[in-house]
């Protein structure tokens, strides 16, 4: 496809990081690893192939400094790093399909990663986002179908903050028609809903 991709997969959560790289030398790779580790912390073990970048002295020194054990796969046999290789194949297939309607590789990669991170894994029963952060990522579906706990919490917060009144209570009502008067006073004669009331004002208007 003409692009270099740095692919990292967390073995437990299956969280996937993919970055487009102009150069895959050890210096640029270390810079990208620092960026990723700043967000997610240092791994205990890093499994990679035997590419020049990963066996370079600079890269080995970087791992040693950070207490990361480096395990290389068998030479000429990428299948021994099965987890990463499966994601590489999935990535290639997905980008090819998306490129039919959109040639922007960066945008297509973002779409793939977003949807992948939301999908539950068969062996884990949860998405990589849930396993990594303890919750799923918000998506457009949440705008249409809010999660039950979020909806209930929002309703409870609103109800506790807004005072509710009963029939017979005397209340102040905001006046919007007369610029010279800000409030009028009256008595609630009917409750129309949780937050809607019919009020009879002192001037007998309702």
pLDDT recorded at residue 28: 94
Give the whole-number percent of the chain exceeding pLDDT 70. Answer: 83
CB atoms within 10 A of CB 111: 15
pLDDT recorded at residue 55: 92
CB atoms within 10 A of CB 93: 11
Give pTM, 2 decimals: 0.62
CA atoms within 13 A on the CB side of 69: 3
Q: Which residues pair with 183 in a beta bridge?
A: 174
pLDDT recorded at residue 49: 86
CB distance 128 to 10 below 8 Å? yes
How does the average pLDDT of the chain come out, rounded?
82
pLDDT recorded at residue 30: 96
Token digits of residue 199: 């009020």
**Torsion angle, alpha carbons of 139, 145, 146, 152, to 10:** -170
Q: Which domains does the chain have, with CATH numbers?
A: 4-144 (3.30.420.10), 169-201 (no CATH)
Q: Where are the alpha helices (DSSP H) in the chain?
A: 26-40, 52-55, 57-65, 82-98, 105-118, 128-133, 140-144, 148-161
pLDDT recorded at residue 91: 82
Question: What are 115-126's pLDDT values in tens digits?
Answer: 889 989 888 889
* Burial call 32-65: b when 16+ CB within 10 Å, e when fewer: ebeeeeeeeeebeebbbbeeebbebeebeebbee
Ranges of residues in the chain with a pLDDT under 70 are 1-2, 75-82, 142-162, 204-206
* Burial call 155-187: b when 16+ CB within 10 Å, e when fewer: eeeeeeeeeeeeeeeeeeeeeeeeeeeeebebe
CB atoms within 10 A of CB 31: 11
pLDDT recorded at residue 159: 47
pLDDT recorded at residue 63: 96
Q: How far is CA 103 from CA 19, 96, 106, in A?
A: 17, 9, 9
Question: What are 95-117's pLDDT values in tens digits?
Answer: 888 887 888 888 989 988 998 89
Q: Which residues pair with 6 in a beta bridge?
A: 19
């Amino acid at each position: 496809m003409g692009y270099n991709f740095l692919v990292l997969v967390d073995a437990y959560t299956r969280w996937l990081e993919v970055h487009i790289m102009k150069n895959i030398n050890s210096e640029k790779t270390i810079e990208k690893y620092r960026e990723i580790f700043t967000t997610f912390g240092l791994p205990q073990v890093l499994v990679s192939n035997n590419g020049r970048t990963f066996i370079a002295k600079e890269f080995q020194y970087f791992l040693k400094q950070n207490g990361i054990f480096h395990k290389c796969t068998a030479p000429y046999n990428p299948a021994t790093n099965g987890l990463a290789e499966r994601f590489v194949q999935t990535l290639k297939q997905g980008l090819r399909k998306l490129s039919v309607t959109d040639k922007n590789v960066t945008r297509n990669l973002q779409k793939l990663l977003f949807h992948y991170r939301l999908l539950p894994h068969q062996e884990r029963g949860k998405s990589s986002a849930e396993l990594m952060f303890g919750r799923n990522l918000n998506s457009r579906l949440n705008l249409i179908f809010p999660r039950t706990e979020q909806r209930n919490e929002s309703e409870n917060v609103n109800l506790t903050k807004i005072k509710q009144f009963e029939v017979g209570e005397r209340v102040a009502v905001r006046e919007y028609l007369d610029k010279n008067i800000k409030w009028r006073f009256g008595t609630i004669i009917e409750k129309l809903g949780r937050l809607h009331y019919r009020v009879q004002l002192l001037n007998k208007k309702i």
